[in-house]
């Protein structure tokens, strides 16, 4: 089940923080200008810093996760969800927005423990007659559990890095504008428009979906 939370947050912030659409900091004549559909190197730098700060808050501090999965009626995935919305009488699609810290990695640990127990099912071991509290865990299983616990303490900077880099490269008017004011594509004109923001947002969505959903880029620190 893919996590669409980073993609959703990154695309929404891309549209809202594109220089010149809602506002530009700094503007050409004032500190802040609203809806001037212009940009500059300094404003892209400032907006990139704002973008970096906000996406860190949503993805690393709040940890927004968005899942779309087919489930049966009444089935709930995970725990501590803020929004659970079921629709479509055929497949029952569950839209879940989860903002609890370490929830996904906790589920990963539970899944690994379930897999370990399933792999041991039907296998006779010397301590199979012992109570569960006295049964020993194989070294390979113990290392897997330690790895997952270590993973839970790490922060995934992959979506943040990918989103910030794409925000800078795809800001309309910096490298290119599609469509331009006089041509289909204009390079380095430092201008933007509503339709170009829409086109660049679609390109941004496609690229970040490839990197985060298809490829699955992760950068862990901790």
- Give pTM, 2 decimals: 0.69
pLDDT mean across residues, the chain: 76
CA–CA separation, 63 and 100 (whole Å): 7
Tokens of 79: 């725990």
Q: Note the pLDDT of residue 84.
A: 41
Q: Note the pLDDT of residue 68.
A: 76
Tokens of 111: 């899944």
Domains in the chain: boundaries: 5-64+156-221
Phi, psi (rounded to 5 degrees) for 192: -150, 175
pLDDT(142) > 90: no
Q: Note the pLDDT of residue 71.
A: 45
212: confidence class by pLDDT, cuts 50, 70, 90? very high
Burial class of residue 178 (count of CB atoms within 10 Å of its CB; 0-12, 13-18, 19+): middle
Sign of CA dihedral 35, 36, 38, 44: negative
Q: Note the pLDDT of residue 105.
A: 52
pLDDT digits (tens, 9 = 90+) for 54-76: 999 999 999 898 887 654 434 44
Q: Note the pLDDT of residue 89.
A: 37
129: confidence class by pLDDT, cuts 50, 70, 90? low
Tokens of 97: 């927005």
pLDDT digits (tens, 9 = 90+) for 163-206: 999 999 999 999 999 999 889 999 999 989 999 999 999 999 99
Q: Note the pLDDT of residue 18.
A: 96
Q: Note the pLDDT of residue 112.
A: 59
CA–CA separation, 139 and 145 (whole Å): 10
pLDDT(29) > 80: yes
Q: Match 């949503």 to its residue by tokens.
A: 58
The H-assigned helical ranges of 19-174 are 41-56, 103-119, 139-152, 158-169
The H-assigned helical ranges of the chain are 5-17, 41-56, 103-119, 139-152, 158-169, 194-209
Question: Residues 8, 157: contact at Cβ < 8 Å?
Answer: no
Q: Strand, coil or helix: what is 221?
A: strand
Taking residues 119-139, report their average pLDDT: 52
């Amino acid at each position: 089940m893919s996590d669409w939370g980073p993609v959703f947050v990154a695309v929404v912030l891309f549209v809202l923080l594109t220089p010149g659409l809602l506002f530009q900091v700094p503007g050409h004549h004032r500190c802040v200008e609203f809806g001037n559909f212009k940009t500059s190197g300094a404003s892209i730098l400032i907006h990139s810093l704002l973008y970096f700060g906000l996406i860190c808050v949503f993805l690393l501090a709040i940890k927004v996760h968005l899942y779309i999965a087919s489930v049966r009626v009444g089935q709930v995935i995970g725990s501590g969800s803020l929004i659970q919305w079921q629709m479509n009488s055929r497949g029952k699609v569950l839209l879940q927005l989860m903002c609890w810290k370490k929830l996904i990695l906790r589920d990963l640990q539970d899944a690994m423990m379930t897999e370990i127990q399933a792999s041991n099912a039907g296998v006779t071991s010397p301590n199979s007659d012992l109570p569960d509290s006295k049964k020993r865990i194989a070294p390979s299983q113990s290392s897997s559990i330690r790895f997952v616990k270590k993973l839970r303490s790490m922060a995934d900077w992959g979506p943040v890095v990918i989103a910030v880099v794409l925000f800078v490269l795809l800001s309309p008017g910096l490298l290119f504008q599609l469509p331009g004011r006089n041509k289909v594509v204009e390079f380095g004109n430092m201008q933007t428009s509503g339709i170009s923001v829409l086109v660049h947002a679609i390109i941004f969505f496609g690229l970040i979906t490839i990197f985060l959903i298809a490829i699955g880029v992760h950068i862990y620190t901790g």
